[in-house]
Amino acid sequence: MADRGRRALVILPTYDERDNVLPLSRDILAASPDLEILVVDDASPDGTGAVVAEAAKSEPRLHLLEREGKLGLGMAYLAGFRYGLDNGFDLLFTMDADRSHNPRYLPAMLEQLETRDMVIGSRYVPGGGIENWPVHRQLLSSFANFYARTLLRLSVRDCTSGYRGYRREVLETVDAFAVKSSGYSFLYEMVFRVHRAGYTVGEVPIVFEQRVAGQSKINSSEIYVAAFRVLMTALAPPRVGRKGG
Ligand SMILES: Nc1nc2c(ncn2[C@@H]2O[C@H](COP(=O)(O)OP(=O)(O)O)[C@@H](O)[C@H]2O)c(=O)[nH]1
Ligand SMILES: [Mg+2]
């Protein structure tokens, strides 16, 4: 099946990303004519929503979903998936909006989705990596991935990367909307569901870059929440649909 002309939506969750979101959006739209963007903004105090609303007036491929307050990253992804499915998109991507995820990898990720059901922009396959992260953060991230992969018996090397693409039927089948966890937990839990449902997952090497402007919003306590939830998922796996079923 040829994938050319498939409509793809890139979901960008934002909280205080005013200085990053438009340069990033411009690069995404330039990466492929098949791409549109949905910014899911949680009433950012820095006015990210207003900046995007203004730009969307003259860019028909840029859309904005404004939420009333900071409802968390997992819920922002789900709101984006709902919008993408309701609006007939075939492929749904997620990317961090802080420019850690370079749009130059999108063409390779689109290509992988011609043969795979899901694709991950991966720091932990040959050719991938992390630029300028402090050693303790790199160690923590590698350990978190090793822990989740081992406990959940995943073959994916990077299960906490937020740079991904899904075919729409994957999101419909695995009951993504039942995933109530936020942040990092959401990310590996989706990989787990996709794996269990029998879908194929490809990984494209990416170099994760430092955010360009602003600060990280992810609280370090989320790491402990995620570690606990991995254990719970391993002990009591959720029921998910099956590919083609
Ligand atoms: N809409 C929304 N976006 C969020 C929220 N928390 C984080 N983000 C966005 O999620 C992405 C990843 O967050 P970031 O702070 O860079 O996390 P880190 O890279 O793990 O330190 C960025 O685009 C943030 O703006 C939230 O509660 N709501
Ligand atoms: Mg970041």
2, part of any domain: no
3-state helix, strand and coil shares in percent for the chain, rounded to the nearest 5: 40, 15, 40
Report the mean per-residue pLDDT for the chain. Answer: 93
95, part of any domain: yes
pLDDT for position 245: 74
243, part of any domain: no
pLDDT for position 3: 46
What percentage of the chain has pLDDT greater than the value 70? 98
DSSP-assigned states of every residue in 2-38: --TT--EEEEEEESS-HHHHHHHHHHHHHH-TTEEEE
How far away, in angstroms, is 154 Cα from ligand 1 center? 25
220, part of any domain: yes
- Total domains, the chain: 1
Parent domain of 126: 8-235
Q: What is the pLDDT of residues 162-182, one digit of tens each?
A: 999 999 999 999 999 998 887
25, part of any domain: yes
Q: Pick from 11, 15, 185 the residue to mutate for probing ligand 1's pocket: most ligand atoms within 8 Å of its CB.
A: 15
How far away, in angstroms, is 1 Cα from ligand 1 center? 35
240, part of any domain: no
| Structure letter (DSSP) for residue 177 | G
102, part of any domain: yes
The CATH number that applies at residue 31 is: 3.90.550.10
155, part of any domain: yes
Average pLDDT over residues 202-223: 88
Give the span between the Cα atoms of 202 and 5, in whole angstroms: 21
